[in-house]
Amino acid sequence: MPGFIKAYVKYVDAINHKVGLFAMYLIFLMLGILFYSTIAKNFFDPSLWTLEMAQFVMVAYYLLGGAYSMQADSHVRVDLLYDRWSDRTKAAVDAVTVLFLLFYLALLLFGGISSTRYALQYGEESYSSWAPYMAPIKIIMCIGIVLMILQVLATFFKDLAKARGKPLS
């Protein structure tokens, strides 16, 4: 593989590793929000913002951690035959199937950008009684999708190199 592809894979892996480690701790933030919500409902006035904020944090956790999950090869895979194949065969099949994922993510990003543009242009708010602006979570959504696309391309290059018998790492 050319040097610029090796550099691309190295930098994308490094960025998604750091973002993924950050995203891991968002689960504790969500738990803290839900714990506060429980205490507030039982002893004080219930807060309007806690449930929706916990949902936003969970969305950020899921979308920002997706690329790290793919990098670590810890995503869910339904395999009937996959475990029986050689590493080179697995890499070749992964290199082909990742193209379908890339197409799906491109469509998702297209819709996400359109939705984010709308939220920014019109000041879109949630329909809940708290009514937070939707633009911040939609921006996080687009960032997560872009990071996933970058990681999918890096994984594609790694699988292609492995299928050729010359792994990148």
Structure confidence by residue, pLDDT tens digits, 45-73: 888 899 999 999 999 999 999 999 999 98
Q: How far apart are CA 2 and CA 9, in angstroms?
A: 11
On the question of pLDDT at 169 being above 70, the answer is: no
What's the N-to-C CA distance of the chain in angstroms?
11
**DSSP structure class, residue 45:** P
Instruction: Say if residues 138 and 117 touch (Cβ distance below 8 Å).
Output: no
pLDDT range class, residue 29, cuts 50, 70, 90: very high
| Residue 125 phi, psi dihedral angles, 5° rounding | -120, 155
Whole-number pLDDT of residue 45: 84
Q: How far apart are CA 138 and CA 119, in angstroms?
A: 8
pLDDT range class, residue 113, cuts 50, 70, 90: very high
Return the minimum-mean-pLDDT range out of 75-79, 86-90, 105-109, 126-130.
Answer: 75-79
Instruction: Say if residues 61 and 30 touch (Cβ distance below 8 Å).
Output: yes
Decide which of 91 and 68 is more confident. 68
Whole-number pLDDT of residue 39: 93
**DSSP structure class, residue 125:** B
Matching residue, tokens 């996080």: 140
Decide which of 115 and 161 is more confident. 115
Mean pLDDT of 150-154: 96
Instruction: Say if residues 57 and 33 touch (Cβ distance below 8 Å).
Output: yes
Return the minimum-mean-pLDDT range out of 6-10, 49-53, 88-92, 138-142.
Answer: 88-92
On the question of pLDDT at 166 being above 90, the answer is: no
Decide which of 95 and 18 is more confident. 18
Whole-number pLDDT of residue 16: 97
Nearest to 157 by CA among 21, 17, 10, 18: 10
Whole-number pLDDT of residue 146: 98
In the chain, domain spans: 3-74+85-163
Q: How far apart are CA 56 and CA 128, in angstroms?
A: 13
On the question of pLDDT at 79 being above 80, the answer is: no
Which own/partner pairs from 70-74 qualify as long-range (CB within 8 Å, at least 24 positions apart)? 70/148, 70/151, 70/152, 70/155, 71/13, 71/16, 71/17, 71/20, 71/151, 71/154, 71/155, 72/20
Return the minimum-mean-pLDDT range out of 55-69, 137-151, 152-166.
Answer: 152-166
Nearest to 123 by CA among 138, 145, 103: 138
